[in-house]
């Protein structure tokens, strides 16, 4: 029995979204098309793949056994497309970069201007989020991550280090005790559902009964509270270097280890001209950024 990629792609989208309408939206087709493809696939296989109900589409055991194979087909399809694109020398089109919110705001948003000036036909798309996206399936072309990848299909293009410190708005820092401790500071950090995102776990270990003065699930909201003088945050030295923010370092008597991050892509992606060009430009941008911050 032959199964087309359209059918497998539809099956995978419904499996992941648990919804026919959501799958249709992602695939860019109508819901009747998705329903028809799944119904035809079930008829040809002679088994039910999804239980339809008010809660959406729940995969059956038969469907769950097919998911790994469908995921591999998706990776092959992505690799096929990228392999074809590798022969196109034109530096144009979209490049999607995934990154944690802080890195997305502080590094990638300013980087967009550099891309625009150097490659005006490239559209930069930045996906800010905590969860890692599947680069092998084309969820993003490049990713900046805080941990080195261990998947064999991925490759590290760059490793960078950033100094880290405790920073606050100047007027807030001036009112702290001369011999400041961790417990003396009003902390701004992450709230649910991101309580496990650094640096909150570190603060909870260091400060008994830790309670932040302000918490948000949005990095930009945290930075706005920091600029307003509400409290302090642990951020990279490059983030604190903008004169207009008027941020100063708070000395707690101990040095903080540098943070590391990695520029990552799928091995099948690295030879696509537009992605290779943006990766090289981003590497230079980050190297210049941290060289300037270290001065």
- The model's confidence at residue 81, banded by pLDDT at 50, 70 and 90, is low
| pLDDT (mean) for 7-34 | 86
Domain around 37: 5-83
My answer on whether 136 and 280 are in the same domain is yes
In-domain check, residue 179:
yes
254 in any annotated domain? no
pTM: 0.71
Pairing of strands 164-169, 188-190: unpaired
pLDDT in tens, 260-283: 889 999 887 877 888 999 999 999
172 and 244 co-located in one domain: yes
Residues 181 and 243 in one domain: yes
pLDDT of res. 262 = 94
Overall average pLDDT of the 91-95 stretch:
89
159 pLDDT band, cuts 50/70/90, is very high
Phi-psi region of 98 (alpha: psi -120 to 50; beta: other; left: phi over 0): beta
Question: What percent of the chain clears pLDDT 90, i.e. is strictly above it?
Answer: 40
Q: What is the pLDDT of residue 293?
A: 46
* Overall domain count for the chain: 3
Confidence grade of residue 292 (pLDDT, cut at 50, 70, 90): very low
- 59 lies in a domain? yes
Average pLDDT along the chain: 87
Radius of gyration, alpha carbons of the chain: 23
Min mean pLDDT across 122-126, 176-180, 286-290 is at 286-290
């Amino acid at each position: 029995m032959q199964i087309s990629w359209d059918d497998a792609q539809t099956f995978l989208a419904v499996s992941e979204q648990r919804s026919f309408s959501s799958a249709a939206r992602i695939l860019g087709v109508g819901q009747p098309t998705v329903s028809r493809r799944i119904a035809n696939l079930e008829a040809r296989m002679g088994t039910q793949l999804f239980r339809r109900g008010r809660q959406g589409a729940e995969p059956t055991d038969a469907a769950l056994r097919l998911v790994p194979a469908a995921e591999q087909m998706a990776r092959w399809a992505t690799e096929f497309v990228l392999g074809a694109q590798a022969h196109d020398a034109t530096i144009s089109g979209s490049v999607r970069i995934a990154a944690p919110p802080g890195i997305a705001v502080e590094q990638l948003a300013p980087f967009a201007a550099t891309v625009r000036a150097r490659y005006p036909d490239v559209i930069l798309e930045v996906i800010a989020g905590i969860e890692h996206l599947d680069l092998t399936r084309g969820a993003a072309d490049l990713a900046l991550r805080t941990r080195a990848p261990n998947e064999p299909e991925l490759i590290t293009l760059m490793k960078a280090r950033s100094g880290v410190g405790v920073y606050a708005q100047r007027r807030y820092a001036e009112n702290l005790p001369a011999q400041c401790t961790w417990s003396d500071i009003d902390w701004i950090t992450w709230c649910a559902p991101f309580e496990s995102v650094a640096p909150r776990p570190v603060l909870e270990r260091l400060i008994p009964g830790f309670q932040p003065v302000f918490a948000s699930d949005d990095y930009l909201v945290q930075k706005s509270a920091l600029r307003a003088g509400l409290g302090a945050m642990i951020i990279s030295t490059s983030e604190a270097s903008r004169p207009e923010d008027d941020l100063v370092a708070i000395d707690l008597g101990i040095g903080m280890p540098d943070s590391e991050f990695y520029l990552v892509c799928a091995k099948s992606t690295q030879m696509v001209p537009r992605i290779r060009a943006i990766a090289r430009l981003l590497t230079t941008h980050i190297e210049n950024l941290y060289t300037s911050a270290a001065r």
